[in-house]
Structure 1
C-alpha cells in the first residue's frame, strides 16, 4: 500500500508538519496585510507564553484572542478561504487587522 500523493490544489491549501495538517495562509492576501497579521500573531504567541510563565491568566486570555483574530484574518481559521470570493476574504482580513490594531493600547497598558 502506498500513500496517496496530494494534488497541487491540496498542496496549496494545506501544510503537513509532523503528520498534522494545517491550513495555509490565504494566497490572495496582499503581502503587506499578511506581514501585519503575522506580526500580531507573533506578539500574541509571545504574550501567551509570557502570561503562562508569570501566571497572568488575563494576559493569556487577551493574547489568545490576538492569536485567534490573526489566524482568522490570515485564513488559517474560520471558513475555508478557498470557498469564499476573494474580495470577501481580503475584506475580512482587513477587518481582522483593524480589530487587532485596536487592541494595542490595552495590551501596552497591561504589560507595564
Structure 2
C-alpha cells in the first residue's frame, strides 16, 4: 500500500469507531517485523502476568517500547524527519533485545 503522509487515512486506522495510529510506513520491513514480534510477545506477557505486578510492568514496558519504535506512540511520525524516525525505531529494538538478556 502506498502511503501519503498528508492523508489522515494513511495515518490512522479506525477499528470499532476507535482511531489508532498506523505504523510508520518509512521503516524497513525487517525492522517492522522485529518490533512487531516484540509487540506480540509483550502483549502475550501482559495476559500471562495477571496478578503479578512486576511481570505486568515488564510486559507493558516491552509493549510500550515496541509501539514507540513502530511510531504508534510518542511523537507523530509524519511530523519528524525520516532519519529521526529510523533512529528511534532502531533504538527501541536495541532496548527490546536487551530486555531478553
TM bracket (short chain): over 0.9
Structure that is richer in helix per residue: 1
TM-score for the superposition, normalised by structure 2: 0.93
Question: Given the alignment of the two structures, is residue 51 of structure 1 paired with residue 53 of structure 2, yes or no?
Answer: no
- List alignment gaps of at least 5 residues for structure 1: 1-7, 106-112
1:72 equivalent in structure 2: 68
Q: Which residue of 1 aligns with 2:35?
A: 37
SS in 2 for 1:102: helix
Partner of 2:93: 97
Q: Distance in 2 between matches of 1:77 and 1:51?
A: 23
Q: Name which one, 1 or 2, has greater alpha-carbon Rg.
A: 1
| Structure-2 residue corresponding to 1:25 | 23
Number of equivalenced pairs:
96
Which residue number corresponds to residue 4 of structure 1?
none
Alpha-carbon deviation of 1:57? 1.2
2:62 is paired with a residue whose SS is helix
Instruction: Give the equivalent residue in structure 2 for 1:16.
Output: 14
Q: Hey, what does 1:62 align to over in structure 2?
A: 58
Shift of 1:75: 0.1
What is the alpha-carbon distance in structure 1 between the residues aligned to residue 53 and residue 96 of structure 2? 19
Q: Which 5+ residue runs of structure 2 have no aligned equivalent?
A: 1-5
Normalising to structure 1: TM-score of the pair? 0.84
* Deviation (angstroms), 1:56: 1.4
Distance 1:34 1:19 in 2: 25
- Cα RMSD for the two superposed structures: 0.8
